[in-house]
Structure 1
Amino acid sequence: MTRWRRPSWWSVLLSVAAAALFVRLGVWQLHRADYKESLVRRYAGAAAAAPAPFGQVAAAPPADAFPRVSVTGRYLGDRIYLLDNPRHDARGGVEAYVPLELAGQPRLLLVDLGFLPGTGNDKAPQLPPLPQGDVRLHGLYLPPPGVGLELGGDALASQPHWPKTTIYLDLAQVARDLGRPLYPRVLALDADPASIYQRAHAFDFSSMPPARHRAYAFQWFSFAVAVWVIFAILHRKRRPRRTDNR
């Protein structure tokens, strides 16, 4: 017959509090997973939507939405920025950004031209020339890529010539470097089979996709179960050993 020791009030309170905390954290992770899956669905739907005029969303884009827009402007082709980020290709490479000047607007729109694979050496890929004059562009109006750990301060200010290379893209630093304000998002151009740039834009979860949130949720729920398993082990009486008296 299993025997149990009477638990103290503080051990019960501590166990209930710990288990409740772990369950709450697990539920929160599940909610985060559902939220990010909804972002993925909205992102996929936006890529197939008809483009809207850029002016409708330029200064105040809708939160958690990725409008597909059309815009006309002129490339500042001598002001290219290269995001040194090898996430697309095992050989590495760069994501190319260039400011677009809109007629009569003080702000510049930073355009994501796409990804250029690395050449296998330390040299930057050869950039094709950009068209002169006004161009009409279509693409998704997206939040800028996340800012990483800023080591050594503003890397753009110390580079006297373009194209300038950086390991993270900070719109505030780019605006200071250009001497003009920028719109709050970047334009990720639609895919173009004729372009040398790779434009398979994927939504950036900053290393936390929905599956990882669910894995963390399972971990927190496991901790909640472990609390009660440990509680039961600590309060289970051991059976006395039999001794043979001869």
Structure 2
Amino acid sequence: MSGFRRPSWWALLLTVAGALLFIRLGVWQLDRADFKEALLRRYAASSSAPWQDFAKVAQTPPSDAFPRVQVSGHYLVDRLYLLDNPKHDERGGVEVFAPFEWQGQPQLLLVDLGFLAGNGTGQAPQVPPLPATELTLQGLYVPPPPVGFEMGGDALARQTHWPKSSIFLDPAEISHDLARPLYPRVLALDADPAAIYERVHTLDFSSMPPARHRAYAFQWFSFALAAVVILLVLNRKRGPRKS
């Protein structure tokens, strides 16, 4: 490489360290993309998976699977929660959640009843009453909706009438609001053509889908290449300046 000068040891060290760091970050982003795609495939396959005993997965559900379960008990019919931030369509509406008491256990199971569409007026739709009788529910045992920052803190604690609504549903806030512990996951009910609710449950990767992870990986790999190119450019021998 007669066209290049030997770089200083610190410049070479910084370039190698930076390139290795960028490559490592790019590989990590690719791993995250593969992990999320695998979760999406497992989620799609869970709807036709065999039933599992809820008692075996209630407290310690598998981190990379979504058990299909049946539970018997009754709703706390006067304690509904409305997630006022769904991403189904442009009509407005709410995702309705109800606490469910299973076999008289002190812990409550939060049930995702589904999406209740609005009428375009901006007002929350009227939630139909729930049956107070003993029921057997079936669905997927999935992680709760993602939680974000909410201005003003706990919105549920400031409300005195039911149903209560919030743009985020924090399980810890719901547990405090009900003065009872919750199971670590939510029961997303199976689709029912006779139900008023729309039940199209998906994993919420909207803020960071697999494609975005791959875009960031390409960015990190580009940084690694740029670091090497910069080192070569700075140490390229220049010919004599013409008079």
TM-score grouping bracket, smaller chain normalisation: over 0.9
The one-letter code of the counterpart of 2:223 is F
CA contact (8 A) 1:112 1:187 kept: yes
**Structure 2 SS opposite 1:111:** strand
Alignment of 1:148-167 (within 5 A): 148-167=148-167
Q: Which residue of 2 aligns with 1:5?
A: 5
Q: Which residue of 1 aligns with 2:101?
A: 101
Instruction: Give the TM-score of the pair, scaled to structure 1.
Output: 0.94
Q: State the aligned residue count.
A: 243
Q: Which residue of 1 aligns with 2:181?
A: 181
Q: Which residue of 2 aligns with 1:21?
A: 21
**Structure 2 SS opposite 1:87:** coil
Instruction: Give the TM-score of the pair, scaled to structure 2.
Output: 0.95
CA distance in 2, matches of 1:26, 1:92: 38
CA contact (8 A) 1:76 1:98 kept: yes
CA offsets 1:93-116 (integer angstroms, 9 cap, x no match): 211000111232111111000011
Moved more, 127-136 or 218-227: 127-136
CA offsets 1:16-53 (integer angstroms, 9 cap, x no match): 11111101111111111111111112111211112223
CA distance in 2, matches of 1:56, 1:236: 66
The one-letter code of the counterpart of 1:83 is L
| Residue 52 (1) aligns with residue 52 (2) | yes
Q: Which residue of 2 aligns with 1:138?
A: 138
Indicate the percent of aligned positions where both proteins have the same amino acid: 66
**Aligned-pair CA distance for 1:214:** 0.9
The one-letter code of the counterpart of 1:10 is W
Q: Which residue of 2 aligns with 1:65?
A: 65
CA contact (8 A) 2:92 2:122 kept: no
CA distance in 2, matches of 1:79, 1:212: 38
CA distance in 2, matches of 1:68, 1:127: 26
CA distance in 1, matches of 2:119, 2:131: 24
Q: Which residue of 1 aligns with 2:121?
A: 121
**Structure 2 SS opposite 1:184:** strand
CA distance in 2, matches of 1:75, 1:26: 47
Where does structure 1 differ by over 6 angstroms across 4 or more consecutive aligned residues? none
The one-letter code of the counterpart of 1:53 is D
Which protein is bigger by CA-based radius of gyration? 1
CA distance in 1, matches of 2:200, 2:68: 15
**Aligned-pair CA distance for 1:9:** 1.1
CA contact (8 A) 1:93 1:115 kept: yes
RMSD (CA atoms) = 1.6
CA offsets 1:134-185 (integer angstroms, 9 cap, x no match): 1111100111111110321211111111000011111111111112211111
**Structure 1 SS opposite 2:95:** strand
CA distance in 2, matches of 1:178, 1:73: 17
Moved more, 6-15 or 84-93: 84-93
CA contact (8 A) 1:146 1:206 kept: no
